[in-house]
Amino acid sequence: MEKFEGLPSQKKVIELLLERGFQVREGKVTSGGIEIPHTQIANEIGADRRVVDMTVKRILKEPELIEIFENIRSIAFLVDVAPLLGLSVVIIHPKDAKEKGILGEVATVIAKRGFSIRQAVSDDPYLVDDPKLTIITDKNIPGELIEEIGRLKSVKGVQIHQ
């Protein structure tokens, strides 16, 4: 992000690429082997296509950025389909997302109660303004477990996503 300071439109492109796990290869933005047109990215962030073109060119000039954007990957995040699959979604809002051990602390409480974690996704506190930890479990989480998670020292708040 430091490499794009003072370039707010290009920074928006970078944020979108990172958020979606889009790669940059040979001057093209892709998701796996599927090319994402620069105009589509520009429309998404409310910018001109040329901003995306310039951002991609800038990435291709920096070996460190090339390494990052050739290797980033997206994941199948189950949060919106979890209820359809009979899974439960718990969203944890940490007091300080940069603190160590939040995921371990929450996972321990959940596992001790006999629940299996199917997916755990943590927002990167350096990329997201209000980072959260999303836990998807194999069955519905009872209220008392939500309260127990809420009492952890690293947790500011807990909510169930439906």
List pLDDT tens digits, range 36-70. Answer: 999 999 999 999 999 999 999 999 999 999 999 99
In a domain, 125, yes or no: yes
Count how many domains the chain has.
Answer: 2
d(CA 108, CA 20): 29
Beta-strand pair 23-25/28-31: antiparallel
Percentage of the chain beyond pLDDT 70 is 99
Does 77 reside within a domain? no
Residue 58 vs residues 39, 144, 160: alpha-carbon distances, Å? 17, 51, 41
Please write the tens of the pLDDT for every residue from 91-123.
Answer: 999 999 999 999 999 999 999 999 999 999 999
131 and 153, same domain (yes or no): yes
Domain containing 23 equals 2-71
* Per-residue confidence band for 3, with pLDDT thresholds at 50, 70 and 90: confident
C-alpha span between 124 and 130 (Å, rounded): 9
Phi, psi of 128 (to 5 degrees): -120, 135
Q: What is the CATH number of the domain that holds 51?
A: 1.10.10
CATH number at residue 126: 3.30.70.260
Answer yes or no: do 89 and 109 share one domain: yes
146 in a structural domain: yes
